[in-house]
C-alpha cells in the first residue's frame, strides 16, 4: 500500500506494546518500521528493467525476514530513541511495525512473497485498494488521539476494530464480486478456468472482474452496493509459453524476460494488437472494465539478446475519470460511454 498507510498500520501494530509513558516514541518507531520494507525499491538496474519486479515485495516483505528487518531498523533508530525507550521496547515496536508491512501488502492485489525463500508464490488476497482513505484516515485519527490524550488502550481497541472490520468488509465485497462474475460468465455460456475480483481505486464498491475462458481473458466491471450492477467490458486473446515458443528465440534474453514477466503477472498476459511486440498484464487498468493496461513489456525480435523495455500507462483521461464516477454512482450501463477498447477485433490477428 501507499507509504502513509504502511506507516499508520505499522504504528497501530506497535502501539499494542505501549503504555502511557512510551506511547509517543513507540508509535513513531512503529511507523518508521512499517515503511522500512519498501526500501527494496532501491534494488534496480539501469540495464535490466525487470529486476525491481523480482525484488519488490520479495525478501524484505517475507515473514521469515521480519526479525532481521526489525533488528536493522531498531539498530538504525537506537541513537535517536535510547533516551525514551529501552532496547527491548524499541525492538518490539520495530518488530510489530515491520510485521504489519507484508501482511498489509498481501491484502492488496499486487502480490507479496510472504513465505520467501520457501516459495516465491505471490500472496494477494484482493481485500483493499493500494490507496484507500476510508481505511487509513480513521486509523490515523486513533493514533493522534492516543498521542495527545496518552490513552493507548482505547485508541488501540478503536484502531484494531476498524482495521479488522474494514478488511472483513473487503472480503465480503470481494466474495460478492466473485459470485457476480461467475453469474455473468454463466449468462454468456462460459465456465471460467479461473476468475479474480480486484477492488477499484480507493473504495470497495467497484470491482474489476477478470476471468479466463477458451483462450481469452474477459474483463468486466461490477458494482457491489445494495444491488449488483454489471458494466460489461471487452475480451482479449491470451498468450502463454506456447506462444513464446513459437515467436521468441529460444535461450534469448527476451525469452527469459518474457518468462520473468509471465511469473510476475501470474500468466495473465495478452498481446497488444496495435503494437505487435508489446506484451501486457491484463490484471490492472485505470478503470475496472477496461483492458488498457497499467504496464507491459516491449521486446525487439531483431535484438533478441537485449532486455525488454518495461512500459507504464498511467495517464487518466477525462472519459475514464467520468466513467469511473458514473459507475461508482450506479448509473445504468446503457447511459455510460462504451468501454475504452484496447483490443482490436479478435479475428484480426492470431497471436
Is the same domain home to 154 and 195? Answer: no
What is the model's pLDDT at position 121?
96
Is the same domain home to 296 and 164? Answer: no
CA dist., res. 233 & res. 102, Å (int): 32
The answer, yes or no, to whether residue 350 has pLDDT greater than 60, is no
The answer, yes or no, to whether residue 88 has pLDDT greater than 60, is yes
Domain boundary among 116, 137, 169: 169
Q: In this structure, are strands 278-281 and 295-298 parallel, antiparallel, or unpaired?
A: antiparallel
pTM of this structure:
0.92
Is the same domain home to 134 and 247? Answer: no
Q: List, for residues 13-36, the tens digit of each pLDDT value.
A: 999 999 888 999 999 999 999 999
Q: Are 97 and 32 in contact (CB under 8 A)?
A: yes
If we measure between CA atoms, which residue out of 70, 196, 47, 48 comes closest to residue 122? Answer: 196
Confidence of residue 298 (pLDDT cuts 50, 70, 90): very high
Mean per-residue pLDDT, 60-89: 97
What is the model's pLDDT at position 334?
58
Tell whether 93 is covered by a domain: yes
State which H helix or E strand residue 65 sits in: none
Is the same domain home to 17 and 72? Answer: yes
Helix, strand, coil percentages, rounded to 5, for the chain:
50, 15, 35
Mean per-residue pLDDT, 109-117: 96
Q: Which long-range contacts (CB under 8 A, 24 or more apart) does 189-195 make?
A: 190/214, 190/218, 192/218
What is the model's pLDDT at position 335?
63
CA dist., res. 133 & res. 158, Å (int): 17
Is the same domain home to 335 and 273? Answer: yes
Tell whether 176 is covered by a domain: no
What is the model's pLDDT at position 343?
42
DSSP of 119-175, one letter per residue? ----B----S-S--HHHHHHHHHHHHHHHHH--HHHHHHHHHHHHHHHHHHHHHHHH
Q: List, for residues 153-190, the tens digit of each pLDDT value.
A: 878 888 999 999 999 999 999 999 999 999 999 999 99
Is the same domain home to 210 and 140? Answer: no
Tell whether 122 is covered by a domain: yes
The answer, yes or no, to whether residue 338 has pLDDT greater than 80, is no
Q: Are 219 and 282 in contact (CB under 8 A)?
A: yes
Tell whether 183 is covered by a domain: no
What is the model's pLDDT at position 276?
84
What is the model's pLDDT at position 315?
79
CA distances from 291 to 207, 228, 272, 313, 341 (A): 14, 21, 10, 12, 7
Is the same domain home to 248 and 155? Answer: no
The answer, yes or no, to whether residue 246 has pLDDT greater than 70, is yes
Tell whether 178 is covered by a domain: no
Domain limits for position 19? 3-169
Is the same domain home to 89 and 229? Answer: no
Domain boundary among 135, 169, 203: 169
Q: Rounded mean pLDDT of the chain?
A: 92
Confidence of residue 149 (pLDDT cuts 50, 70, 90): confident
Q: Which single residue is written with the C-alpha cell 528465440?
A: 249
What is the model's pLDDT at position 6?
98
The answer, yes or no, to whether residue 70 has pLDDT greater than 80, is yes
Percent of the chain with pLDDT over 70: 95
Percent of the chain with pLDDT over 90: 85
Tell whether 318 is covered by a domain: yes
CA distances from 68 to 42, 62, 87, 95, 105 (A): 18, 10, 15, 9, 19
Mean per-residue pLDDT, 180-207: 97
Is the same domain home to 162 and 193? Answer: no
The answer, yes or no, to whether residue 344 has pLDDT greater than 60, is no
Tell whether 179 is covered by a domain: no
Is the same domain home to 153 and 195? Answer: no
Q: List, for residues 249-281, the tens digit of each pLDDT value.
A: 999 999 999 999 999 999 999 999 788 899 999
Amino acid at each position: 500500500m501507499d507509504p502513509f498507510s504502511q506507516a499508520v498500520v505499522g504504528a497501530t501494530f506497535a502501539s499494542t506494546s505501549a503504555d502511557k509513558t512510551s506511547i509517543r516514541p513507540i508509535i513513531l518507531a512503529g511507523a518508521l518500521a512499517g515503511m522500512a520494507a519498501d526500501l527494496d525499491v532501491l534494488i534496480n538496474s539501469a540495464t535490466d528493467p525487470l529486476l525491481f519486479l523480482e525484488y519488490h515485495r520479495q525478501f524484505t516483505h517475507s515473514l521469515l525476514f521480519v526479525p532481521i528487518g526489525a533488528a536493522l531498523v531498531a539498530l538504525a533508530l537506537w541513537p535517536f530513541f535510547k533516551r525514551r525507550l529501552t532496547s527491548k521496547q524499541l525492538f518490539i515496536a520495530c518488530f510489530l511495525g515491520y510485521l504489519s508491512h507484508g501482511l498489509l501488502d498481501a491484502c492488496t492485489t499486487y502480490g507479496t512473497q510472504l513465505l520467501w525463500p520457501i516459495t516465491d508464490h505471490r500472496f494477494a488476497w484482493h481485500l483493499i485498494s493500494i490507496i484507500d482513505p476510508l481505511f487509513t484516515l480513521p486509523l490515523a485519527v486513533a493514533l493522534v488521539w492516543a498521542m495527545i490524550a496518552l490513552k493507548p488502550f482505547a485508541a488501540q481497541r478503536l484502531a484494531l476494530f476498524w482495521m479488522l472490520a474494514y478488511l472483513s468488509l473487503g472480503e465480503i465485497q470481494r466474495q460478492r464480486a466473485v459470485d457476480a462474475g461467475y453469474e455473468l460468465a454463466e449468462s454468456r455460456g462460459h465456465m471460467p478456468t479461473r476468475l479474480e475480483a480486484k477492488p477499484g481505486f480507493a473504495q470497495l464498491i467497484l470491482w474489476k472482474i477478470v476471468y479466463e475462458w477458451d483462450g481469452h481473458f474477459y474483463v468486466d466491471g461490477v458494482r457491489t452496493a445494495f444491488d449488483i450492477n454489471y458494466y460489461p467490458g471487452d475480451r482479449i486473446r491470451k498468450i502463454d509459453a506456447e506462444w513464446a515458443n513459437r515467436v521468441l528465440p529460444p535461450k534469448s534474453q527476451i525469452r527469459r524476460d518474457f518468462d520473468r514477466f509471465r511469473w510476475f503477472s501470474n500468466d495473465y498476459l495478452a498481446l497488444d494488437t496495435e503494437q505487435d511486440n508489446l506484451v501486457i498484464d491484463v490484471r490492472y487498468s485505470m478503470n475496472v472494465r477496461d483492458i488498457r493496461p497499467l504496464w507491459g513489456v516491449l521486446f525487439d525480435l531483431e535484438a533478441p539478446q537485449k532486455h525488454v523495455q518495461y512500459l507504464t500507462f498511467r495517464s487518466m483521461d477525462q472519459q475514464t475519470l467520468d466513467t469511473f464516477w458514473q459507475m461508482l454512482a450506479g448509473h445504468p450501463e446503457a447511459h455510460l460511454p462504451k468501454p475504452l477498447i484496447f483490443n482490436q477485433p479478435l479475428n484480426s490477428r492470431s497471436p
